[in-house]
């Protein structure tokens, strides 16, 4: 079955510390992976996708097909990074539906 | 450019009742997807509509149904409400699923919070 696992419900770090939000997936084909973010009182929005291989707001994520992982990283966390982060995959059928993990709340302390 | 809007913002129903949730897609988008987000969970795909036809469905019973109108707005209907239907319902629109995910970012609305008592 297709599944996305985010093992940490909460990740708390101090400002300036490195951040790594973990995401593992199970999928038999070649999925497309995404990170979505939801800031307080805002709607869910796309942060980055693996296919674009870009850095957004200092965040990067590398797809590791061998380990079936797509961890989100940032070298120096900022307070404004505090939010709910969801890993998602797509490509399971023609509708390109998104399958989400349960999310990780990132709290960056001053 | 107008973003995705949803109505109502929140509502309360009792078991056995029926509910209709509405979504207006972003300007230029013809594909609408609905997701259910239970407390503490990630969004779960319900179904997708493309040019007024259902185009993919998740693991939800038939009492979850939908419509898409010629202007690409959409409705989600839930019959015979159960307590477990209490959740945030998200609508997402995208330009055209045929483009694939490379150019087919899904834009989410603010959601409708449904409480079933």
The Cα–Cα gap between B58 and B79 comes to 17
CB B56 within 8 A of CB B37: no
Most confident option among B27-31, B87-91, B100-104: B87-91
Which positions in chain A touch B35 (Cβ < 8 Å)? 98, 100
Kindly report, residue by residue over A49-69, the tens digit of the pLDDT.
887 778 889 999 988 989 999
The closest of A46, A89, A93 to A65, measured between CA atoms, is: A89
Alpha carbon B20 to chain centroid, angstroms: 10
Distances from the Cα of A34 to the Cα of A64, A65, A69, A74, B43, angstroms: 13, 14, 11, 16, 14
Quick one: B9 exposed, middle or buried, by C-beta within 10 A (0-12, 13-18, 19+)?
A: exposed
pLDDT of residue A74 exceeding 70: yes
| CB proximity under 8 Å: A 15-54 to B | 32, 43-46, 49, 51
Residue numbers of B between 25 and 44 with CB closer than 8 Å to A: 33, 35, 40-44
Q: What does the pLDDT read at residue A92?
A: 58
Q: Average pLDDT of chain B?
A: 92
């Amino acid at each position: 079955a297709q599944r996305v696992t985010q093992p940490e419900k909460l990740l708390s770090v101090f400002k300036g510390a490195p951040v790594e939000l973990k995401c593992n997936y199970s999928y038999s084909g070649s999925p497309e992976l995404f990170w979505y973010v939801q800031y307080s009182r805002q709607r869910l929005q796309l942060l980055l996708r693996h296919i674009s291989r870009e850095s957004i707001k200092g965040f990067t994520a590398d797809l590791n097909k061998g380990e079936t992982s797509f961890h989100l990283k940032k070298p120096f966390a900022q307070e404004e990074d505090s939010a709910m982060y969801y890993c998602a995959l797509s490509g399971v059928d023609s509708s390109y539906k998104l399958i989400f993990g349960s999310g990780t709340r990132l709290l960056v302390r001053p | 450019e107008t973003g995705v809007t949803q109505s109502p913002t929140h509502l309360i129903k009792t078991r056995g009742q029926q509910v209709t949730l509405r979504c207006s897609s972003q300007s230029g988008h013809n594909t609408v997807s609905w997701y259910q987000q239970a407390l503490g969970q990630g969004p779960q795909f319900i179904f997708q509509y493309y040019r007024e036809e259902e185009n993919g469905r998740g693991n939800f019973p038939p009492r979850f149904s939908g419509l898409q109108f010629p202007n690409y707005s959409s409705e989600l209907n839930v019959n015979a409400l159960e307590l477990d239907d209490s959740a945030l319902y998200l609508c997402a629109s995208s330009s055209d699923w045929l483009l694939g995910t490379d150019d087919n970012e899904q834009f989410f609305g603010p959601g409708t919070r449904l409480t079933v008592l």
